[in-house]
Chain A
Amino acid sequence: MLLAAIDWHALLFLLFALVACGFGAAVLLTSNVVRMAFYLTLCLGATSGLFFLAGAQFVGAMQLMIYVGGTLVLLIFGVMLTAQARFISMKTGAGEWILGAIVGSSLLLLLVRAGFSVESWRLPRLDRDKITLAEGQTSTAIGLALTSVRVDKLSAPNEKLKPGMSGYLLPFVIVSMHLLVVLIGAGYMARTKRLGVNRATDRPVAQAPPRDRDRSFFVSAGLASGMIVNLLLAVGCCWLVAKPLAITGNAAPTNQFLLQLAKAIDAAPSWLLPTLGLLFLANVLLLVVVWYWQKWGVVGLVIVPLVMAFLIASTSLGQAAAVTIALIALAPVVLLILLLCSGRPTAWSQME
Chain B
Amino acid sequence: MLRPPDGLVADGITAIDMDSFPPPITVSHYLVVGAVLFVLGAVCMATKRNALGVLMGIELVLNGANLNFVAFGSRFLRQDTLGLDGELMALFVIVLAAAEAAVALAIALNFYNNHTTIDVDHADDLKG
Contacts and interface: CB of A to CB of B under 8 A. Distances in A.
Interface stretch (A102-110, A230-238, A270-278, A325-333): A102-110
Contacts of B92: 171, 175
Given A28-B43, A96-B47, A108-B39, A199 B114 contact: yes
A126 B16 contact: yes
Interface string B62-95: 0100110011011111111001101110111011
A242 interface: no
Given A40-B59, A74-B105, A81-B109, A125 B79 contact: yes
Interface string B102-127: 11011111101111111100100000
Interface residues of B, number: 88
Interface residues of A, number: 106
A190 B111 CA distance: 10
B70 A56 contact: yes
User: Chain B binding site: helix, strand, loop or mixed by DSSP?
Assistant: helix
A24 B60 contact: yes
A123 B78 contact: yes
B84 A123 contact: no
Contacts of B90: 51, 56, 59
Interface of A: 5-7, 9-11, 13-14, 17, 20-21, 24-25, 27-28, 33, 36-37, 40, 43-44, 47, 50-51, 53-56, 58-59, 62-63, 66-67, 70-72, 74-75, 77-79, 81-82, 87, 90-92, 96-97, 99-101, 103-104, 107-108, 111-112, 114-116, 119-128, 131, 135-136, 138, 141-142, 145-146, 150, 152-153, 168, 171, 175, 178-179, 182-183, 185-187, 189-190, 192-193, 196-197, 199-201, 203, 205-207
